[in-house]
Amino acid sequence: RSTLFPYTTLFRSPYSPTALWILALLLILVGALGIVLPALPGIPLMFAGMVGAAAIDDFQRIGWLTLAVLGILTIVSVIVEFAAAALGATRVGASKRAVWGALLGTVVGLMFGIPGLVFGPFIGALIGELSIHGRIDQAGRVGIATWLGLIFGTLAKIAIGFAMIGIFVLAYFIG
């Protein structure tokens, strides 16, 4: 019995462990897809699946330290997701309005699927920069830098997702 979670009987389920494992693995797989697909909170879904998997055996194999590390990585991934486009715009001297446009474009773009996610931050930064300077060349550089920031943010989330899976597997089978 886990000393960290002395009331783990709260996590007992009337469902079979096999069904719970399938659910946990499904959450992890859908979360992995959500890293690159819009409208799915990828890393948070993966984390939820990992916490569920840890709860199946009363947190005996996956303890508080592993869950804390996975939780921190989840928070970092969410910050990266929303900050990447804005940071890309900032790198080329974008105005504050362009940065806010990139953030707003990212949020609005989520509603339009993959095209919205690809073009939303670019269009938001472009409109924001145009509204300040009216120079298409500067606005175009800001839009492209925003888009590159989004790509690098996605790559960072992929790396975080792989790291989380590696930590979980190592902790489960070795720890």
- What are residue 81's phi and psi, to 5 degrees? -60, -45
Highest-scoring range by mean pLDDT, 91-100, 102-111, 146-155, 163-172: 163-172
Tell me, what's the pLDDT at 1?
45
Percent of the chain topping pLDDT 70: 89
The number of helix segments (H) and strand segments (E) in the chain equals 6, 0
Q: CA-CA distance, 8 to 1, in Å (whole number)?
A: 8
Residue 138 or 168, more confident: 168
Q: pLDDT confidence of 166, banded at 50, 70, 90?
A: very high
What would the pLDDT profile of 37-56 be if each residue is shown by its tens digit? 766 789 999 999 999 999 99
DSSP 8: G
Q: pLDDT confidence of 165, banded at 50, 70, 90?
A: very high
Q: pLDDT confidence of 7, banded at 50, 70, 90?
A: very low
pLDDT tops 60 at residue 8: no
Tell me, what's the pLDDT at 12?
59
Give residue 97's identity as a one-letter amino acid code: R
pLDDT tops 90 at residue 111: no
Q: CA-CA distance, 100 to 102, in Å (whole number)?
A: 5
Terminal C-alpha separation, the chain: 16
DSSP letters spanning 68-91: HHHHHHHHHHHHHHHHHHHHHHHH
Mean pLDDT, the chain, integer:
85
pLDDT tops 60 at residue 32: yes
What would the pLDDT profile of 81-102 be if each residue is shown by its tens digit? 778 767 777 778 888 888 888 8
Q: CA-CA distance, 38 to 107, in Å (whole number)?
A: 10
Pick from 107, 83, 88: nearest CA to 149: 88
Tell me, what's the pLDDT at 83?
80
Tell me, what's the pLDDT at 138?
83
Q: Residue 107: which residues within 8 A CB-CB, separation 6 or more?
A: 120
